[in-house]
Amino acid sequence: MIMIKIGLVSVSDRASNGIYQDEGIPSLISWLQLALKTPFATESRVIPDEQPIIEQTLCELVDNLHCDLIFTTGGTGPALRDLTPDATLAIADRVMPGFGEQMRQISLHFVPTAILSRQVGVIRKKCLILNLPGRPKSIQETLEGVKDSKGNTLVHGIFASVPYCIDLLEGPYIETHEHIVKAFRPKQAIKSNL
């Protein structure tokens, strides 16, 4: 059976020190359970906002544990301790600028400070790594996009493009529950009756 391996990394000095409970990883797992038809396994890490530790963690998840997809949460703003994008870019083979652009576009529908976000999307080997915000509500908005009161999509969330990106990286074929997020693929890339 096809299974996707997803790394979840919460970057937070306070959560990693036990000062408060991390909310990013539990909200991501809940969202993935609702959104994905494809079975998945997760590798979770709660780490401090230290660039060498972030780099080491991302490399471990890609190089040793062979994750197909990694989401980070937190540490993406302009504060001096916000080092997640810097660490992500440092270990990247290729940058995928469209993901960062779309994340800010989505967030601007909710808060004007979205322009302060430095979130990035990159590829290391065959793994897509995406920096998400730290707050559960913002994580969901970023993944699902902007919807109207009837649930119609006004601005696509970033996850709509993730399955096809993973296809192009020769990873597992990911299917979603379309009422949460519809995965977009060219017609010739759609597999039926998996």
Residues 9 and 72: beta-carbon distance below 8 Å: yes
pLDDT of res. 1: 63
**pLDDT score, position 192:** 75
Q: Helical H runs in the chain?
A: 13-16, 24-35, 51-59, 84-90, 97-108, 136-144, 162-168
CA-to-CA distance for 84 and 72, rounded, in angstroms?
A: 8
Residues 111, 97: Cα–Cα separation, whole Å: 21
CA 2, CA 157: separation in Å to the nearest integer?
Answer: 24
Domain ranges of the chain: 4-189
User: What local confidence, expressed as pLDDT, does residue 193 receive?
Assistant: 58
- State pLDDT tens for residues 86-133: 999 999 999 999 999 999 999 999 999 999 999 999 999 999 999 999
pLDDT at 2: 83
pLDDT at 151: 82
The residue assigned the tokens 């989505």 is 106
pLDDT at position 194: 53
pLDDT of residue 17: 76
With 0.85 as the threshold, say if the pTM is over it: yes
End-to-end CA distance of the chain: 10
| pLDDT at position 66 | 98
pLDDT at 123: 98
User: What residues in the chain have per-residue pLDDT under 70?
Assistant: 1, 193-194
Superfamily grouping for domain 4-189: MoaB/Mog-like domain (3.40.980.10)
